[in-house]
């Protein structure tokens, strides 16, 4: 943001928004929105509470397992689709359908199948994130300069070395974009899954806070989630910026 030619640091604009929030909250126009100061106070109460620690542990565990699965499967599938037109034509349509379908609708069926625990959450994370990772990996691999691959082969690289040192590395700009989007979708997946299950993790806390009308706590939890999603995607974006210079010079 700029004002009269001066760049305003992000924290200043955040402060302005928090101030507006505070004023709006104190006016008590909408009971759903408490003043920002109350939310901050709630943060201090929520974070150390046993229910929060427990919910976070369950959530992060499901998220980590689900993401590991979708990174493995997504990158592998994307590389196959990128290198083999046959695989791309067999799998491409399905991956695209799943990527753009409202997978939330599948979660109740998963619950019926897998129960109300960890497996449902893990599969939800996986289903939400794997497709975009596969598609972006495919695009990255397709954009790898064919003569880089020929160069590797001409100097005697085995297929394994070719993929691990040249293809993956050259596809990194798109691959990282896919991972960043996948992380955000996976996080959405775990929270949506938990909201639908309503008896575990962060979803349970949301349910609990909103049912009992604990709005400051509700917003505190939301802010923590936002911050986590933001930090995770910024971490990947940091590496993306480091490799972006060669997206144009391959």
Partner 1 sequence: MTDIPRTTSKAGNPVDKTGEPAVRVHNLTKEFPGGVRALDGVSFDVPRGELTSIIGPSGCGKTTTLKIIAGLVEATGGEVEVDGTPVHAPGPERAFVFQDFALMPWATVLRNAAFGLELRGVSRQEREAIARDYIAKVNLAGFEDAYPHQLSGGMRQRVGLARALAVDADILLMDEPFASVDEQIRRKFQEDLLRLLSDEDKTVIFVTHSIEEAVYVSDQVVILTRGPSRVSKVVRPGVDRDADSEHIRRSPTYLDWVERIWDELQDYLEK
- Binding residues for partner 1, rule: CB under 8 A, are 145, 147-148, 150-157, 161, 166, 169-170, 172, 243, 245-246, 249-250
Q: How far is the CB of 175 from partner 1 (least distance, A)?
A: 13
Whether 134 and 173 have beta carbons less than 8 Å apart is answered as no
Tokens of 188: 């959405």
Nearer to partner 1, 24 or 239 (CB): 239
Q: How far is the CB of 243 from partner 1 (least distance, A)?
A: 7
Q: How far is the CB of 144 from partner 1 (least distance, A)?
A: 11
Count helices and strands (H / E) in the chain: 12, 2
Q: What is the DSSP letter of 199?
A: S
Cβ-proximal residues to 7 (8 Å cutoff; 6+ apart), any chain:
1
Q: How far is the CB of 99 from partner 1 (least distance, A)?
A: 28
Q: Count CB neighbours of 118 within 10 A.
A: 16
DSSP H or E run through 2? strand 2-3
Whether 159 and 121 have beta carbons less than 8 Å apart is answered as no
Nearer to partner 1, 157 or 195 (CB): 157
Nearer to partner 1, 31 or 248 (CB): 248
- Beta bridge partners, 2, equal 7
Q: How far is the CB of 139 from partner 1 (least distance, A)?
A: 17
Tokens of 206: 């949301």
Cβ-proximal residues to 238 (8 Å cutoff; 6+ apart), any chain:
none
Whether 152 and 162 have beta carbons less than 8 Å apart is answered as yes
Nearer to partner 1, 26 or 250 (CB): 250
Q: How far is the CB of 153 from partner 1 (least distance, A)?
A: 6
Nearer to partner 1, 139 or 191 (CB): 139
Nearer to partner 1, 233 or 244 (CB): 244
Q: How far is the CB of 166 from partner 1 (least distance, A)?
A: 7
Cβ-proximal residues to 114 (8 Å cutoff; 6+ apart), any chain:
120, 123
Nearer to partner 1, 79 or 110 (CB): 79
Residue 141 to residues 1, 83, 132, 178, 183, Cα–Cα distance (Å):
36, 7, 14, 12, 20
């Amino acid at each position: 943001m700029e004002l009269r030619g001066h760049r305003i640091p992000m924290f200043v604009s955040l402060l302005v928004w928090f101030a507006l929030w505070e004023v709006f909250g104190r006016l008590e126009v909408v009971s759903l929105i408490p003043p920002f100061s109350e939310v901050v106070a709630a943060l201090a109460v929520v974070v150390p509470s046993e229910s929060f620690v427990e919910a976070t542990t369950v959530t992060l565990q499901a998220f980590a397992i689900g993401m590991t699965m979708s990174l493995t499967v997504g990158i592998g599938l994307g590389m196959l689709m990128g290198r083999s037109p046959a695989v791309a034509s067999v799998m491409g349509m399905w991956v695209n359908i799943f990527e753009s379908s409202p997978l939330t609708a599948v979660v109740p069926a998963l619950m019926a199948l897998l129960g109300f625990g960890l497996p449902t959450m893990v599969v939800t994370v996986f289903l939400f994130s794997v497709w975009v990772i596969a598609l972006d990996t495919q695009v990255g691999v397709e954009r790898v300069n064919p003569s880089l691959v020929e160069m590797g082969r001409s100097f005697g690289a085995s297929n394994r070395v070719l993929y691990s040192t040249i293809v993956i590395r050259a596809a990194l700009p798109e691959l990282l974009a896919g991972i960043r989007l996948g992380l955000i979708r996976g996080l959405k997946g775990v929270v949506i899954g938990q909201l639908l299950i309503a008896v575990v993790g962060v979803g349970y806390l949301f349910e609990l806070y909103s049912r009992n009308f604990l709005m400051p706590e509700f917003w505190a939890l939301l802010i923590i989630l936002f911050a986590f999603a933001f930090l995770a995607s910024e971490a990947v974006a940091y590496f993306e910026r480091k490799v972006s210079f060669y997206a144009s010079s391959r």
